[in-house]
Structure 1
């Protein structure tokens, strides 16, 4: 899209999908911070590396990375950056894993979604950047995104964007049925029942079973289904947060209030455009997707905080977002690391990312008055970043992903599809998913504890 459009008009991102990785994964070392000690380099050594002729290869699918590479080359004329799109999310992860297994062929730098970072930090596949002083960048990023790329003192990637969750909703649909915008989950369920009863073709939301959405919703409910301590992993998809979420979502699944329209299809975007799907509970990167793909909804969409389990609470979670990592195989780590820093922590790289569709992970940008004052016509002139920026501050802390989350996400539909199709409880789905995930973890050499 045109670079002179406002940032909110261009937040178009590709969502990665989980995959089953080929071959066995190396068991991660025990203790905080992962495996081998980080390489070290002073700021002078990093700067000197940028003044020597060399090249790096970057694997990424985000549209921002190519112009970021061009800006980096302009700033450092001795460096050549070869950006390769080898596939979105799942496809790239398969190629990365194959290169890791072969011991050769990996790029210097790779885009890695947050849920996949633990998996690729196994066996030192990702370089620990803490020895370059990058641990000092912690305060530049939101707590949730920084937590997703670090393990103890180790820094395995730098956050590029974020996806704090909010409720995107059709004001016209709520007005049509005389329903107040829900602030609690009880109100949300009641609104769903009211509008679906009035019109069987009207749905509060669409959900056919998505692993990333499910874990984010459990996170928002205060759940901690995964705990990782070295090579010991705990999986509990029946904890209080998981039960809290299913107690709400089961009602919507069982009474048919959720559209069974696969996400990211033409049919789905038409439903968002005509309002037959009235809300989306998703990451803050969604505005550009709506503007680009659901143009008929212009002027009708608004943004509100996520509904809460207790009136007055403000809890939310992350959904989506990617980091920039340096691969341990890289033979040019200093330049690769500086590229990662340029793309994520330096103003020029960050701005390019925002212009191409990313939602900030950097605290300075989330509190920038210009950013907060954006009032896109698509959202009726609402200052939506005031809501989304606050959501970034309200993400619940201490979330952990599995060190084999990519695989876990890839098998979720095996358990979930029939429940969504037949309108039955999700509790057995989570039980089955936990068992299958635990079995895989044990096969990879982890000690897995289940509840």
Structure 2
């Protein structure tokens, strides 16, 4: 999902804490049986109290009501403090001020690292979170677990899939591409058949770019405490830039920003024929593009190597407990309830895409028919994608800042003669400089 974050967001966090953090400071992940053990959670529930939750995800409303019904002494105050970067700014301001932080905060996976390395969120290992290590799919769990510490519990996930307009494909005799080379061929054939039709849209999106590099096997980011490496010269990154550059050179990509009115119109009228995006997208089709119901279908992502089955994550978020939380035991109880077991199933029933293996593998989930996609059992495609997410992906500990300058660097390739590879190189250099300026040790 697309997020633009102000540069001021990371300043106080990185300057105050980056130099102080070492590779082992993230915690051992072992509970010492002290004051914040699992038994204290049970005692806190019996005592009751108020838990303030900052989140924009709508399905949490039903989860909060269910939690209060189960634990009548607990009051859940669900607050929408803004979506994505707006909430992160508010949270960082509260952390810096030393007051006003919530007990639970929703954080997208790419943003979690900045709060973890700044020691602004709790290591949930001490609350018994390690028992959930096998409860979640690989992508989301890898995003919250590092250096034996668990900084959040996954709330949802975004395994990628290929959404295509079957009506448009059938009209022009285009086969669904199974490789990215076939995708380029399909893009050319579509645009040749109808110059008003584009294979997709793109004006420069950090999340989409890094997700496709992830799928291609690229691992441009490596982090060990405050030691960071940024390298978009790896083979996976080159695969992506080489393919996407062909699309840009031949003007096969609609110069339309995602989530704009023009984007929704393009999805509705078929002038934007495909999307490679996270499995959370169906709800957006249903609500934002109702007139195209029945036109679209879902398929696995095209592959970089014929016959392969590799995917990546795009989007998704988790629930974390700020260090400044007032009711940490109750906060953990709600976090656990909302992300595992009954709470997770409730959210799936309300339209969220699960991060839990149990929900992903349930017959009811897999057999769900989507009227919007012509009755297709699309969850089967999404579940397979979740199983095939490439391992060992990491984000920068200041990814929010890096994403905020994407359009100023890589974005130039979409509006000028700048090559995509050169744009990535500029983004890399800017990310390295910023990290070093903030006290990290960053190499290329």
- In the superposition, the TM-score normalised over structure 2's length comes to 0.95
Matching of residue 407 in structure 1 with residue 401 in structure 2: yes
Residue 419 of structure 1 deviates from its aligned partner by: 1.4
The aligned residue for residue 250 of structure 2 is 255
| CA-to-aligned-CA distance 1:51-100 (integer Å, 9 cap, x gap) | 11311111111112222212111111111111111110010000111111
Look up the SS of the partner of 1:233 in the other structure.
strand
Counting only pairs closer than 5 Å after superposition, residues 176-325 of structure 1 correspond to structure 2 as 176-325=171-320
Match of 1:95 among 81, 85, 90: 90
Q: Does the 8 A contact of 1:165 with 1:306 survive in 2?
A: yes
Distance in 1, Cα, partners of 2:86 & 2:122: 21
SS at match of 1:280: strand
Runs of 5+ consecutive residues of structure 2 not aligned to the other structure: none
Residue 174 of structure 1 is matched in structure 2 by 169
Looking at structure 1, the residues matched to 151 and 25 of structure 2 have their Cα atoms a distance apart, in angstroms, of 9
What residue is the counterpart of 1:10 in the other structure?
none
Q: CA deviation at 1:174?
A: 1.3
Query: In the alignment, what sits opposite 1:385?
Result: 379
Tell me if the contact between 2:109 and 2:144 (Cα under 8 Å) persists in the aligned partners: yes
Q: Which residue, out of 350, 358, 365, partners 1:356? A: 350
2:11 is matched with 23
Deviations 1:108-152 (A, max 9, x none): 110000001111112310001101111110110001100100112
Matches within 5 A, 1:138-153: 138-153=133-148
Deviation at 1:263, TM superposition (A): 0.8
> How many residues were matched structurally?
436
CA distance in 2 between counterparts of 1:40 and 1:323 reads 24
Cα offset, 1:375, TM superposition: 1.5
Residue of structure 2 in register with 1:72 after alignment: 67
Distance 1:405 1:104, change over 3 A: same
5+ unaligned residues in a row in structure 1: which ranges? 1-13
In structure 2, do the counterparts of structure 1 residues 32 and 346 end up closer, same or farther at CA, with 3 Å as the change threshold?
farther
Q: Which moved more, 1:20-29 or 1:315-324?
A: 20-29
Rate the CA distance shift 1:33–1:187 in 2: closer, same or farther, 3 A: farther
Q: How far did residue 29 of structure 1 move?
A: 1.9
Query: 8 Å contact 1:67–1:352 — kept in the other structure?
Result: yes
Partner Cα distance (1:159, 1:331) in 2: 22
Structure 1 counterpart of 2:414: 420
Please identify, of 16-25 and 154-163, the stretch whose mean Cα deviation from structure 2 is larger: 16-25
Q: CA deviation at 1:418?
A: 2.5
How far residue 314 of structure 1 moved from its aligned partner, in angstroms, is: 0.7
| Post-superposition offset of 1:35 | 5.1
Is 1:437 the counterpart of 2:431 in the alignment?
yes
